[in-house]
Amino acid sequence: MSKRLVAANAWISSDSRYAAEALSYAGFDSVTVDLQHGMFGIDTAVSLLQAISAGPAVPMVRCSRLDGAEIGKLLDAGAYGIICPSIDDAEQCRDFVGACRYPPVGTRSFGPSRGLLYGGPDYVDHANDSVLTWAMIESRSALDNLDEIAAVEGLDGIYIGPNDLAMSLGERPGGAMPESVREAIRRAVQVARARGIFVGAFCGGEDAAADMVDCGMDLVTPGNDISFLRDAANRRLSVIRRLTTLVSDASGY
């Protein structure tokens, strides 16, 4: 069986530089720092990017919102891809892509700071071509405007946020994927293919990620660092608990 080329993306929600570095060395193609829902602010995001770039994975960030100043700072700090949450129409998408590109293409201000160290002295010459722009599709409005969003010049990919998308469609987030979200994902894959851009998705775990690979995703995120830790802890504990009782139960505390 021939295998498709699909990028595996790790996702950092904790403020641990050590975990970020370990995931960069773990074999993921990219590691994304989640500044929207991660438990840290922008200063920590910068040091997480430093930790990721100690290893071989491509450092990316999910910014907290569509904010050119924040996006510029994250790129200056060495992010090579930005995933922007809640892109609901083509105008927002144009603002987002523009914030990631130097003039005359976009509006990014010059001051590449760590980008120069990490990307090399010619960083400014290739930044517009090498920084990946991913617009998050996670609402009913985004679905209504999907064709126009995907057609924005310079957009590299769309990235599905299945939980916010589920809520926007009147479903519950987490758990089994509702049919309405699955249908939206099938359409997003078709639209991305037709436009020649990438399509990726956040996934609840490895099974959901495998499912999304089958659906045609080019990039999948199989959960975040804390879910990796929790899953591994639960797996190991359940092996031990099959053979033992809780010390606190036995001692009557």
Residue facing Mg ion at closest CB distance = 161
Strand 81-84 vs strand 132-137: parallel, antiparallel, or unpaired?
parallel
> Does the protein bind ligand 3PY through residue 161 (CB under 6 A)?
yes
> Does the protein bind ligand 3PY through residue 138 (CB under 6 A)?
yes
- Distance of closest approach, residue 231 Cβ to ligand 3PY, in angstroms: 17
Binding to ligand 3PY (CB under 6 A): which residues in 193-212? 202
> Does the protein bind ligand 3PY through residue 134 (CB under 6 A)?
no
The item of Mg ion, ligand 3PY, none sharing an interface with residue 134, based on CB under 5 to 8 Å by kind, is none
The item of ligand 3PY, Mg ion, none sharing an interface with residue 162, based on CB under 5 to 8 Å by kind, is ligand 3PY
Q: Could you count the other beta carbons within 10 Å of the beta carbon of residue 73?
A: 19
When the beta carbons of 127 and 203 are compared against ligand 3PY, the nearer one is 203
Region from 65-73, 131-139, 143-151, 242-250 binding Mg ion, contact rule CB under 5 A: 131-139
Q: What is the CA radius of gyration of the chain?
A: 19
When the beta carbons of 28 and 202 are compared against ligand 3PY, the nearer one is 202
> Does the protein bind ligand 3PY through residue 98 (CB under 6 A)?
no
Q: Is 37 a catalytic residue?
A: yes
Residue 173 · residue 164 · CB < 8 Å: yes
> Distance between CA atoms of 204 and 184, rounded to whole angstroms?
17
Select from 136, 113, 157 the least CA-distant residue to 62.
Answer: 136
> Does the protein bind ligand 3PY through residue 164 (CB under 6 A)?
yes
Select from 61, 13, 11, 64 the least CA-distant residue to 36.
Answer: 64
> Distance between CA atoms of 64 and 42, rounded to whole angstroms?
9
- Distance of closest approach, residue 185 Cβ to Mg ion, in angstroms: 14
> Does the protein bind Mg ion through residue 164 (CB under 5 A)?
yes
**Contact letters for ligand 3PY, residues 36-75 (x by CB under 6 A):** ----------------------------------------
Q: Residue holding tokens 């922008």?
A: 42
Which of 25, 27, 37, 206 is catalytic? The answer is 37
- What lies within 8 Å, CB to CB, of 241 at 6+ separation is none
Of the residues 70, 88, 95, 138, which one makes contact with Mg ion according to CB under 5 A: 138
Vertex 152: Cα angle to 149 and 155 (nearest 5): 95
Which segments of 73-223 are extended strands (E)?
Answer: 81-84, 132-137, 157-160, 198-203, 219-222
Q: Which residues carry out catalysis?
A: 37
- Residues in contact with ligand 3PY by the rule CB under 6 A: 138, 161-164, 202
